[in-house]
Amino acid sequence: REYADFQRTQGEDIFRQQGRVTKKTAELMETKKAQAFLLDTREQERIKLEKEEQDKHYLISNLQKQQKNLQNEINQKKKEANKIDKGYMDSSNITKILTLTVDKLSENESCKELFHQYKEGEPLLSAQALNDVIELARAILFPGYYGNPTADEQAIHHHIEVNVETLFNLLIEQ
């Protein structure tokens, strides 16, 4: 009987041990499944991250190309603007050039080839008259800038007519 009790206790111990082993095996299988799931998730995230990195590099590359193209376009526009600015003369430069031209044209030496004489032998145009002719011509050609800048569209035609008539009379006098 004692031996039977001993075997029964050992059988119960073995049965309990087997239950623990089965339980541990189930836990290990669950842990292994969780690890496999985590490894799979990690791999998917790595692939997703690599794709995002490639997309970022592609986007950055395209943006850099666009920036380079825009910068080239800006530089070209600046060069064009500089060319225009170099060719541009403000009103003080124009006035200086016109004054020098009037002075040059008014000299007797410059008028020798084209000069008509009054009976007294003086050149036809005086320096002041030549300056007036140039001012009137500018006012006729650019009425809103050199003429009367405050004139509206209806009045500008009147100002042009008056300036043309004044120029005509001035040339007749000379």
Dihedral, CA atoms, 94, 100, 102, 104, nearest 10 degrees?
Answer: -150
DSSP 22-88: HHHHHHHHHHHHHHHHHHHHHHHHHHHHHHHHHHHHHHHHHHHHHHHHHHHHHHHHHHHHHHHHHH-
Looking at the fold, whether 11 and 62 belong to one and the same domain comes out as yes
pLDDT for position 91 = 67
Q: How many domains does the chain have?
A: 2
Looking at the fold, whether 105 and 79 belong to one and the same domain comes out as no
Query: Does the pLDDT at position 43 exceed 60?
Result: yes
Query: Does the pLDDT at position 66 exceed 90?
Result: yes
Looking at the fold, whether 133 and 162 belong to one and the same domain comes out as yes
Residue 60 amino acid letter: I
Looking at the fold, whether 61 and 124 belong to one and the same domain comes out as no
Looking at the fold, whether 6 and 68 belong to one and the same domain comes out as yes
Identify the residue whose tokens are 């836990």.
27
Q: What is the CA radius of gyration of the chain?
A: 51
Give the residue from 68, 88, 108 where a domain finishes: 88
Stretch 32-43: mean pLDDT: 96
pLDDT category of residue 88 using cuts at 50, 70 and 90: low
Query: Does the pLDDT at position 120 exceed 70?
Result: no
Looking at the fold, whether 55 and 67 belong to one and the same domain comes out as yes
Looking at the fold, whether 76 and 110 belong to one and the same domain comes out as no
Give the residue from 88, 117, 150 where a domain finishes: 88
Q: Which has more confidence, 86 or 116?
A: 86
Give the residue from 27, 61, 88 where a domain finishes: 88
Q: Which domain holds residue 3?
A: 1-88
